[in-house]
Amino acid sequence: MRKLILCLTVCISFTLQAQKGAQIQLHPEKSTQIIDRHIYGQFAEHLGSCIYGGLWVGPDSDIPNTDGYRNDVLEALKKLQIPNLRWPGGCFADEYHWMDGIGPRENHPKMVNNNWGGTIEDNSFGTHEFLNLCELLECEPYISGNVGSGTVEELAKWVEYMTSEGDSPMARLRRENGRDKAWKVKYLGVGNESWGCGGSMRPEYYADLYRRYATYCRNYDDNRLFKIASGASDYDYNWTEILMKNAAYHMDGLSLHYYTVTGWEGSKGAATIFNKEEYYNTIGKCLEIEDVLIKHIEIMDKYDPQKRVALMMDEWGTWWDEEPETTPGHLYQQNTMRDAFVAALTLNLFHKYTDRLKMANIAQIVNVLQSMILTNNKQMVLTPTYHVFEMYKVHQDAIHIPLDILCEKIIDSNKREVPMVSASASRNKEGKIHITLANVDPDNKQEITLDTTGQKFNKITGRILRAGSITDHNTFDRPDLVKPVSFTGAKTAEGQLLISLPAASIAVLELN
């Protein structure tokens, strides 16, 4: 058993010694980056009840729906301002054959979803259903193509089917299937986790294969593809090195996956039952993503100093044990304030690297891993993570304002530093400043002083997500236990903002 090694370190602060507090200094003079809205991307895989039951119930369902999409889920997702949606996997993508999902539904062949519990996939949700969903959500589709078990011809034809306006064979087939106008598809992933479920390849081999597949994925009419190579996971810096060395010229983006997984001895831990040591260890693991990002970016900088190739963190989030009595392999997990902190801290961090990091996709949108929404037949509940994404959407496409934070830190059981306060700031097109703040300390409030010298504003408004306990979560019986409320704990005093941030809380302030 691991020992509890929570020790308080002395903060470098000069003013904070006597109180639990923090100082934040904004640096608008250092603003150079836009926070790409695509950092707020989502991911929907044919896995468990993400698609079937979560997003899609079919037009004949007694669950209220619009052309087969659940109305309650659609309505909730529209409020998130989702910039892009990745589909159909994940691991599923490299076993998916898109032609099985077009034409009259009753003719679609079935398949075994080998990656996710051996469930029978009836292919009723296919290309049309996905791209029409993106239109309903007003988000950009991000298609993940099959490299592992597919062919170059199959992927090339899929691109033609979706995007060709002319009289080409695949455009004709699309028209026969009821869609006259081509869709716009920009983001195209060429394989997924090609080092693992996507084909167990070596990076040298995949780099060549990527180049071959990418060659035949054409730009039809005015559609312009943004081709994304399957990237590394976590600490596999060699994969990024080899891909950048051998294929950077042929790619627009390179992906990276990082999950906040903390379990040991075969168990990832329960989503809703954890002690403070496990909590801080999760926050420590979550924050380690910054070091991982920096190291992959350093390698990309070596081969691409102009930063032409984007880094796409197209899978991230928490991964816990599946909820008891749910279908094995379906990755259905609950979502507490701890998950909300992982979302808030990760997004605050992503904002710092948007000169290279141009997209991120939390895994996954409904009913799988760190989801926005959980459903059970007709019932639906919004998770604490949903509320973070909804509160944070104000940062999308805003100018990032760099900042420094001085605050108390603890050391987690893996000897990682965990600062008690996390923050990020941006200025939007109307000149409004938004500051997102998190106090990860479950027991103590933080008195935060934020220097606003040089910033003009007349009004401060805010919202806060807080919990009585870090294990708090929403259930179908208590759907509103964790939800944002109005926050009035910030006031101005002599060019400073004094913010009293309750224990275990996440807030967004608007300075107007």
Q: Give catalytic residue positions.
A: 193, 315
Residue 51 Cβ vs ligand AHR, minimum distance, rounded to whole Å: 13
Q: Which is nearer to ligand AHR, 315 or 339 (CB)?
A: 315
Residues in the chain, overall count: 512
Residue 36 engages ligand AHR in binding (rule: CB under 6 A): no
Q: Which is nearer to ligand AHR, 90 or 150 (CB)?
A: 90
Instruction: Give CA–CA dist 99/102, Å, rounded.
Output: 6
User: Hey, is 424 helix, strand or coil?
Assistant: strand
Residue 192 engages ligand AHR in binding (rule: CB under 6 A): yes
Residue 343 Cβ vs ligand AHR, minimum distance, rounded to whole Å: 15
First to last CA, the chain: 51
Residue 315 engages ligand AHR in binding (rule: CB under 6 A): yes
Q: Which is nearer to ligand AHR, 21 or 90 (CB)?
A: 90
Residue 34 DSSP symbol: B
Given a contact cutoff of 8 angstroms between Cβ atoms, the answer to whether 239 and 210 are in contact is: no
Instruction: Give CA–CA dist 223/186, Å, rounded.
Output: 7
Residue 491 Cβ vs ligand AHR, minimum distance, rounded to whole Å: 43
Retrieve residue 313's tokens.
């963190």
Residue 89 engages ligand AHR in binding (rule: CB under 6 A): yes
Identified binder of ligand AHR from the candidate list 11, 23, 45, 161, rule CB under 6 A: 45
Residue 489: cis peptide before it, omega within 30 degrees of 0 = no
Q: Pick the piece of the chain touching ligand AHR (CB under 6 A) from 87-95, 164-172, 242-250, 399-407.
A: 87-95
Identified binder of ligand AHR from the candidate list 193, 252, 339, 390, rule CB under 6 A: 193
Residue 232 engages ligand AHR in binding (rule: CB under 6 A): no
Retrieve residue 108's tokens.
């679609």
Neighbours of 203 (CB within 10 A): 23
Retrieve residue 480's tokens.
């509103």
Instruction: Give CA–CA dist 342/260, Å, rounded.
Output: 8
Residue 146 Cβ vs ligand AHR, minimum distance, rounded to whole Å: 13
Given a contact cutoff of 8 angstroms between Cβ atoms, the answer to whether 23 and 423 are in contact is: no
Residue 190 engages ligand AHR in binding (rule: CB under 6 A): no
Given a contact cutoff of 8 angstroms between Cβ atoms, the answer to whether 420 and 440 are in contact is: yes
Residue 255 engages ligand AHR in binding (rule: CB under 6 A): no
Residue 390 engages ligand AHR in binding (rule: CB under 6 A): no
Residue 226 Cβ vs ligand AHR, minimum distance, rounded to whole Å: 19
Q: Which residues contact 381 (CB under 8 A, 6 or more apart)?
A: 373, 374, 375, 474, 475, 476, 479
Identified binder of ligand AHR from the candidate list 41, 53, 90, 284, rule CB under 6 A: 90
Q: Which is nearer to ligand AHR, 190 or 369 (CB)?
A: 369
Q: Pick the piece of the chain touching ligand AHR (CB under 6 A) from 361-369, 380-388, 421-429, 494-502.
A: 361-369
In the complex, which residue's CB is closest to ligand AHR?
90
Residue 362 Cβ vs ligand AHR, minimum distance, rounded to whole Å: 10
Residue 89 Cβ vs ligand AHR, minimum distance, rounded to whole Å: 5
289 backbone dihedrals φ, ψ, rounded to 5°: -60, -30
Q: Which is nearer to ligand AHR, 364 or 383 (CB)?
A: 364
Q: Pick the piece of the chain touching ligand AHR (CB under 6 A) from 84-92, 223-231, 288-296, 440-448.
A: 84-92
Residue 144 Cβ vs ligand AHR, minimum distance, rounded to whole Å: 9
**Three-state secondary structure along 243-265?**
HHHHHHHHCCEEEEEEEECCCEC
Q: Pick the piece of the chain touching ligand AHR (CB under 6 A) from 89-97, 374-382, 383-391, 458-466.
A: 89-97
Q: Which residues contact 266 (CB under 8 A, 6 or more apart)?
A: none
Contacts to ligand AHR from residues 91-120, by CB under 6 A: 91
Region of residue 7 (left: phi > 0; alpha: psi -120 to 50; beta: else):
beta
Radius of gyration for the alpha carbons in the chain, expressed in angstroms and rounded: 23
Q: Which is nearer to ligand AHR, 220 or 316 (CB)?
A: 316
Residue 45 Cβ vs ligand AHR, minimum distance, rounded to whole Å: 5
Taking the CA atoms of residue 22, residue 28, residue 32 and residue 36 in that order, the dihedral angle to the nearest 10 degrees is 60
Residue 317 DSSP symbol: E
Retrieve residue 277's tokens.
């040591």
Q: Which is nearer to ligand AHR, 28 or 329 (CB)?
A: 329
Region of residue 235 (left: phi > 0; alpha: psi -120 to 50; beta: else):
alpha
Residue 363 engages ligand AHR in binding (rule: CB under 6 A): yes
Q: Which is nearer to ligand AHR, 334 or 439 (CB)?
A: 334
User: Hey, is 99 helix, strand or coil?
Assistant: helix
Size of the site for ligand AHR (CB under 6 A): 10
Nearest of 330, 317, 329, 337 to residue 376 by alpha carbon: 330
Q: Which is nearer to ligand AHR, 36 or 315 (CB)?
A: 315
User: Hey, is 211 helix, strand or coil?
Assistant: helix
Q: Which residues form the interface with ligand AHR (CB under 6 A)?
A: 45, 89-91, 192-193, 315, 363-364, 369
